[in-house]
A and B are shown apart, each in its own frame.
Chain A
Amino acid sequence: MKPVLLIEFLRSRGAGELTKIDTQSYPWELLIRQSRRANLISRVALFLREAGILDDIPTRPRQHFVNALCIAKANARAINWEVRDLYQILRGQNIDFILLKGSAYIWSENSAARGRLFSDVDIMVRKPSLEDAERVLVHSGWMGSTLNSYDQRYYRQWMHEIPPLQHLKRQTTLDLHHSIIPPVSYPDFPAEKLWQLAIPAEDMPGLFVLSHIDMVLHSATHLFHEGEFDQGLRDLSDLDLMIREYILDSVLWEELLARAVELGLELPLYYALNYTQKILDTPVPEQILQKAAQQRSRGHLPDRLLDSLFLAAFVPDHETCRVRGRRVARFLLFIRSHWIKMPWYLLFPHLIRKGWLRLQGENSH
């Protein structure tokens, strides 16, 4: 596979080699195009600034990176405001909640917050509070979204989840969960174990983020379970940053492996470690990777096959990095994720509606 500029850039950054870039001759326009398509332009911009080379870049490309930083800053402000609003609403009903994914990264200002862009807020409440939470949120301006009745049923009945809510005025989407994996695919997921180690916010009782290790595992599960690879490289980059930030010694590596077993997330952890290492050069020790491989239960697809699918799927969807079979790879992985999610008798009618339409339809933002 031909090297992809964006991936080479991320690898250089991981190796601390961005300062070696010849800022006058580097193909900035190509990097801008690929990173914008992969939803990573703000992160790339931040890396350039951190490496101290942003000001040396020629003016016209530099402007694109500066604008991307502007967007990230506005995004962070918006998410912080959403979290405050949610806190007011849920605190009033004494409902604790854990911030998940992007909003958690931004809130806790961890490494994955850097240059992160998104418009969804994901939170988790305890299962018994789910109905109350939905009720009070809807009452406070978070409307049920305009999903059609098929999709509503898909969420409630088969996924045992609330469909995303959308704020009436601000258009932000809120995903309300009680578990980090759809219950239809992992009905006994021990969500209470996440609560046991969740980190509380100072000064805001009832607001939490996941423990560092759980955050890594959740990110891995989301990426390798949900089957959506439009943001694949971005999510992989989040994992790379968090692994580098949080898993700093052999004790923590062992804790990560053990926690994956405790939560039944051995498979996504293996994928996360394998693909961050292979694609982004994340410093995962070989023996840890082997242990993670061994921890997986039987019955997974052959590694060579999965490697070829995943490695294709992570390449950004841009004309300058065309890779043969990427669309097919993504489609197959999409099917696979849904196969993991639902029993077969639900899968086929669902796929006919969803997967087929996805192939035909245009990307949505």
Chain B
Amino acid sequence: MIASTQQKNIPSLLVFRFWGEECVVYNPLSGDTHLLPALHAEILQLITEGIRGDSDRPIDHLMAEYAMSYEEAVEFSSALYKHYKSLGLVDPSWN
């Protein structure tokens, strides 16, 4: 078997630079960059960290920091997750 560890998409590889209300995200695997509102980037960070661990963190964060209800937070983070998948920022095979 050939090892494919170098292919494993380690979530923490995404690079974030925040400037006020905006964030630029760099994906070292694809070489792509994305400009996101800071809030979305925070959620992306939590999603990518959370995939290997506590996957409720994005929802907790939205509820605590942005006063969303549980249902609103779930809907918001799911929508963002779908969007990031389409941009190649999160890998469906991680789940």
**A residues neighboring B (CB under 8 Å):** 74, 77-78, 80-81, 83-84, 88, 107-109, 199-204, 209
* A199 contacts B28, C-beta separation under 8 Å: no
Whether A107 and B2, one on each chain, are in contact in the complex, defined by CB atoms closer than 8 angstroms, is yes
Q: Are A209 and B2 within 8 A (Cβ)?
A: yes
Q: How far is the CA of A197 from the CA of B30 in the complex (A)?
A: 31
Query: 7 smallest A-B Cβ distances: which pairs?
Result: A202-B1, A108-B2, A202-B4, A81-B30, A203-B4, A201-B4, A201-B2
For B30, list chain A residues within 8 Å (CB): 81
Check if B79 is an interface residue, CB within 8 A of chain A: no
- Please list the residues of chain B having a beta carbon within 8 angstroms of any beta carbon in chain A: 1-4, 6-9, 28-31, 92-93
Say yes or no: A199-B1 contact (C-beta < 8 A), given A80-B7, A109-B6, A204-B7. yes
What is the CA–CA distance of A340 and B3 in the complex, to the nearest angstrom? Answer: 38
Please give, as numbers and ranges, the residues of chain B lying within 8 Å of A202 by CB-CB distance: 1-4
Say whether chain B's binding surface is mostly helix, strand, loop, or mixed: loop
Q: Is the CB of B1 within 8 A of A200?
A: yes
Shortest distance from the beta carbon of A14 to any chain B beta carbon, whole Å: 25
The complex places the Cα of A40 from the Cα of B6 at a distance, in Å, of 25
B1 touching A84 by the CB < 8 A rule? no
Question: Can you give 23 contacting A-B residue pairs, CB < 8 Å?
Answer: A77-B29, A77-B31, A78-B31, A80-B6, A80-B7, A80-B29, A81-B29, A81-B30, A81-B31, A84-B7, A84-B9, A88-B93, A107-B2, A108-B2, A199-B1, A200-B2, A201-B4, A202-B3, A202-B4, A203-B7, A204-B4, A204-B7, A209-B2
**CA separation between A80 and B6, bound complex, in Å?**
9
Evaluate contact between B2 and A77: CB separation under 8 angstroms. Answer: no
> How many Å lie between the Cα of A28 and that of B30 in the bound state?
34
Q: Which residues of B contact A109 (CB under 8 A)?
A: 6
Q: Chain B's nearest CB lies how many Å from the CB of A205? A: 11
Whole-angstrom distance between the alpha carbons of A204 and B2 in the complex?
A: 10
CA distance A202 to B6 in the complex (A): 11
- By a CB distance below 8 angstroms, the chain B residues around A200 are 1-2
Q: Which residue of B lies closest to A81 (CB)?
A: B30
Please, which residue of chain A has its CB at the minimum distance from the CB of B3? A202
Collect the chain A residues with CB atoms within 8 Å of residue B29's CB.
77, 80-81, 84
Chain A residues near B92: list those with CB within 8 A: 88
Bound-complex Cα distance A107 to B3 (A): 9
Q: Are B28 and A77 in contact (CB under 8 A)?
A: yes
Closest residue on chain A to residue B29 by CB atoms: A81
Give the CA-CA distance A279 to B66 in the complex, in Å. 69
A78: nearest chain-B partner, CB-CB = B31
Is B2 within 8 A of A199, CB to CB? Answer: yes
Which residues of the other chain, B, contact A78 by a CB distance below 8 angstroms?
31
A209 to B7, CA, bound (A): 15
Query: What's the minimum C-beta distance from B38 to chain A, rounded to whole angstroms?
Result: 27
- Bound form: Cα–Cα A206–B66 in Å: 44
* A-chain residues with CB within 8 Å of residue B7 when the two chains form the complex: 80, 83-84, 203-204
- Tell me the minimal C-beta distance from A70 to chain B in angstroms: 13
Which of B3, B4, B9, B93 is packed against the most chain A CB atoms within 10 Å?
B4
B6 to chain A, nearest CB (A): 7
| Nearest Cβ on chain B to A84's Cβ, whole angstroms | 7
**Which A residues lie within 8 Å of B3 (CB)?**
202
> Quick one: given A77-B29, A77-B31, A81-B31, are A201 and B6 in contact (CB under 8 Å)?
no
A80 to B: closest C-beta gap in Å: 6
Nearest B residue to A74 via CB reads: B31
Report B-chain residues with C-beta under 8 Å of the C-beta of A80. 6-7, 29
Q: What's the nearest-Cβ distance from chain B to residue A201, in Å?
A: 5
